[in-house]
Chains A and B, each alone.
Chain A
């Protein structure tokens, strides 16, 4: 639209610093600033004089170069995640010169890190051979122990890390279940349900189908 174009042109001229037509720009900063007040609100879109930043010093120039180098390193590292390019409908001559950055980057399982920093469900990314075991706590009720002051079904909390201690044996211990990356095979909305719909309440120790979808 011409109105928008005209305004854009006027503003562009104002920003450039050159003034045409003898219209003075409004000073909005510094001691001569004209502040909008209730009685004198001024124009809706005035031409304003923008402050000019001081040029970069040598140190700042070096900082920019160092940051640019780090950006390039991060861009080609396994930590920069992008979708791989899908082949287009039309094959062009210049496609031979374009590289798919996502394919060129190393994979996440090549990074040097320790599994202890990550929760169990992320171990399969670091080490694809890991089969993540879904930790569940069985809720079997042992009548003989009903009088003892014991937390039923609650896992013991490790005081150092604040996490549940993993105990693999005994009736009151954790029950482990084989868990494969099924979500990739069956990509639907029911990946991880919050509520297990009462399926985990069986007294005879049936773990229910809480994880199988």
Chain B
């Protein structure tokens, strides 16, 4: 909600939906929820234009609405959906990850859904066939089947999520309606404790709904021809019925950015172990995260679901070399120096991972042979590493030394910091104020007397990770806004040339552009590429600080 965040949101809308939608979004971002009439007043647009913009934004899940009764009329208020809007900076990475995990079909499906906001499976497949056609050697039916298969797989893995009409309503209004439904059952108005218990119960209900079956997926028995022209249920060799999961054709789906962010976080957690231990430890950790990922809903959970060591053994990649990457005590190997079995090596590896100082992997207290990931600790380590990297690149090693010391030891005074960091007090004072201005350190005043005189006050410096993350996120939004604005400026500087390139005769014949113009275009493309990639790199830092 800071100025930098508002500017970034506005520029995202401008780039994707044009200047008119930007005006409407700008008003909603800066001034909050309002009806069509007020938006038209502030933007000086016609009400029909405002309605078109709101339709585009709701279609792309960027605006939610609420209907409220005012005297004799029902007025519709529109509000911006900030998290969804800020996730749009990650679109390049989402497209690339879809290609990696679901191949070309997945990338095309993601592109289609990001273009249209939300689509049913039939509309999405029809759109892809219209834009990319059918490869030679394949029929339309085959292509449709392979796209349907990819779509179903993405829904099962929750990379696509169903959108219901209630998702277009503001969350606050939905929660209030549910609370009203519960409190209406009571004869007397609820007390504060009762209201709190109702809210807790509703929250638990929502959590259970998210953990249960995937919305939009239906199951049916697989059928086959019985040779007499009729269908019968297909059976497995052991007599069990084969159940096929299909996506419902009338349910709309959108891209689930949270699932992509969870997977990227899991990869980063596994990467922590590659630097500390070895690539085999990273592979084991990655497998544990993949097994636990199915039950993850968002990145704010504290612990993962338990993973059993037997399941881990069966799920490890085939090329994981456990035996040769471990060193065993010769006395443990026995007189014949026989190499240990795979499950013994895995036990040893898991023991090493558990004993690691990061304390991310731990045994599940209730069940034996099951392990749990401490996601909160892992996220804190990722954030701390990133903040250290930023401070080190910006200021240098002595500043990082002070920051690490305060993070480990808690609140310290100037004199103590100077003694522990072996730097003179004058230097320490300068560095502390620089880091505080940057937003990484906090100052706590503890007065000795009732009058808060500076000479009789303790000044304690500390690192509060959440505040440091928020301040740095705001700085990064500022940078991203600058990069985005720079792209507009670069294009605006060459507006005449770009206008010429849009001409139909120039599009058909490249030779109408002279050498200087072609060089200018190349420079522009190079600049735009660098700016876009820099913004993507900063967006990755933002999700570490904000979403992990």
Contact = CB atoms under 8 A, between A and B. Distances in A.
Q: Do A and B come from one complex?
A: yes
Interface in B249-265: 252
A164 B69 contact: yes
Given A74-B115, A97-B503, A59 B96 contact: yes
A67 B90 CA distance: 10
B47 A191 contact: yes
Interface string A133-160: 0111111000000000000011101111
A19 to B, nearest CB: 23
A22 to B, nearest CB: 26
Given A31-B397, A81-B56, A192-B37, A60 B165 contact: no
B294 interface: no
A162 B174 contact: yes
Nearest to A114: B252
Contacts of B173: 162
Given A112-B119, A125-B55, A192-B37, A137 B72 contact: yes
B165 A117 contact: yes
A73 B16 CA distance: 10
A90 interface: no
Contact of B536 (A63, A77, A81): A63
Nearest to A125: B55
A29 B40 CA distance: 46
Interface string A170-194: 0000000000010110010101111
A155 B69 contact: yes
A29 B393 contact: yes
A49 interface: no
A160 B41 contact: no
Contact of A67 (B48, B95, B174): B95
Interface string B422-434: 0000000010001
A184 B19 contact: no
Interface string A94-115: 1001110000000010011110
Given A67-B95, A70-B95, A183-B48, A118 B71 contact: no
Interface stretch (B57-65, B190-198, B205-213): B57-65
B36 interface: yes
Contacts of B252: 113-114, 117
B51 A60 contact: no
A48 interface: no
A82 B20 contact: yes
B96 A62 contact: yes
Interface string A31-58: 1110101000000000000010100100
Contact of A160 (B20, B166, B393): B166
A113 to B, nearest CB: 6
A116 interface: yes
B21 A81 contact: yes
A74 B505 CA distance: 23
Nearest to A187: B46
Given A59-B96, A113-B118, A122-B54, A161 B165 contact: yes
B409 interface: no
Contacts of B177: 157-162
Contacts of A138: 72
Contact of B51 (A67, A97, A121, A136): A121
B489 interface: no
Q: How large is the interface on A (under 10, 10 to 19, 20 to 34, 35 or more residues)?
A: 35 or more
Contacts of A83: 20
Interface in B442-456: none
Contact of B40 (A122, A135, A191): A191
Interface stretch (B310-318, B337-345, B527-535): B527-535
Nearest to A126: B55
A119 B59 CA distance: 12
A10 interface: no
Contact of A60 (B37, B49, B73, B533): B533
B391 to A, nearest CB: 11
A112 B116 contact: yes
B367 interface: no
Contacts of A126: 55
Interface in B501-548: 502-506, 529-530, 532-534, 536-537
Contact of B55 (A118, A164, A200): A118
Contacts, number: 218
A51 B393 CA distance: 10
Interface size class of B (residues with CB under 8 A): 35 or more
A139 B72 contact: yes
A60 B536 contact: yes
Contact of A32 (B20, B49, B118, B396): B396
B52 A98 contact: no
SS class of chain A's interface: helix, strand, loop or mixed?
loop
B206 to A, nearest CB: 13
A70 B111 contact: yes
Contacts of A208: 72
A194 to B, nearest CB: 8
Interface in B230-244: none
Contact of A210 (B35, B67, B72, B167): B72
Nearest to B97: A63
A118 B57 CA distance: 11
B165 A163 contact: no
Nearest to B499: A98
A29 B392 CA distance: 9
A99 to B, nearest CB: 6
A200 B70 CA distance: 11
Contacts of B201: none
Contacts of B394: 29-30, 33
B58 A200 contact: no
B133 interface: no
Contacts of A66: 92, 95-96, 99, 107, 111
A77 B537 CA distance: 28
B163 A162 contact: no
B56 A108 contact: yes
B505 A97 contact: yes
24 contacts: A32-B396, A53-B534, A61-B529, A62-B99, A67-B92, A73-B115, A74-B17, A79-B116, A80-B18, A81-B49, A112-B116, A112-B119, A117-B58, A120-B76, A122-B54, A136-B72, A157-B180, A159-B181, A162-B176, A183-B46, A183-B47, A192-B35, A192-B37, A194-B37
Given A74-B17, A121-B36, 18 more contacts: A31-B398, A33-B396, A53-B534, A60-B533, A61-B529, A70-B95, A77-B115, A98-B499, A111-B116, A119-B67, A119-B76, A125-B51, A162-B174, A183-B48, A192-B35, A192-B36, A192-B37, A196-B73
Which 7 pairs from chain A and chain B are nearest by CB?
A192-B37, A162-B177, A31-B396, A63-B92, A116-B165, A159-B181, A67-B92
